[in-house]
A = this chain, B = another copy of it.
Amino acid sequence: MSIRMYDLAGADPAVRFSPYCWRIRMALAHKGLTVETIPWRFSDKSAIAVSGQGAVPVIRDGETVVHDSWAIAEYLDDRYVDRPALMDGAQGKALANFARHFSQTVFAPIAFKAVMLDIYNAIDAGDRDYFRQSREARVGKTLEAFAIGEDEARALLKPALAPLRALLQEQAFVNGDAPAFADYCLFGGFMWVRGVSRKQLLAEDDPVYAWRERMLDLFEGLARKAPAVGA
């Protein structure tokens, strides 16, 4: 039986744009596991109440329910230990943890400013009041006052991504010669942008752009084929 995953969806239910859900979509493909995704909206708290909290991803694997992308990755490596590892030992786990914190503290704050209005426009009408109120409370401004344009986002991201760029000038993937969970943690952020926005936050000659292209091609183009506002 397939694993089922609650997956944040836009107004178009085919558009899936959660960076955390994308980490797990890629992780499941890495493990060679099939998944049935269930479109989920911010307002569907009751659908995932069984997980004891209110955010996706949530997976159900037989009788087991797991939430939080980090906990799900650990679960998948523990439960499916004979399949390719997402995090190969203690140092591999530390690498994924550094990569996810880099994504969340360096990439996401800049990208969020660039795409927050695009997210607002892409989500279901029933989610918009929740999104505006929760995000405006978090940033202390209206979405419109907080948003930045594509050029400003690119100018901010270019120096901010310097360590990632230096790494990807030397190796094909964050995890080394082959992708694994550190890559999926970072790539989830780029799929968030792609899902809702036509903004292109990387220059085409950036090694990070070339890595993103390689990630889009993995697993027979799983991410590239996914319906999205951007490309």
Give A residues with C-beta under 8 Å from B: 87-95, 97-99, 101-102, 104-106, 162-164, 166-167, 170-171, 173-178, 180, 182
Contacts and interface: CB of A to CB of B under 8 A. Distances in A.
Contact of A97 (B94, B104, B105, B167): B167
Q: List the 8 closest A-B pairs by CB distance, nearest first.
A: A91-B92, A95-B95, A101-B166, A105-B162, A90-B176, A102-B163, A94-B176, A101-B163
Contacts of A164: 98, 101
A7 B98 CA distance: 30
Contact of A91 (B106, B167, B175): B175
Pick from A95, A166, A177 the residue with the most CB of B within 10 Å. Answer: A95
The count of identical subunits is 2
B175 A97 contact: no
A170 B108 CA distance: 19
A50 to B, nearest CB: 27
Contact of A88 (B90, B97, B177, B180): B90
Contact of A98 (B89, B105, B163, B180): B163
A230 to B, nearest CB: 25
A101 B89 CA distance: 22
Nearest to A105: B162
Contacts of A163: 98, 101-102, 104-106
A83 to B, nearest CB: 16
A177 B95 contact: no
A131 to B, nearest CB: 25
A71 to B, nearest CB: 13
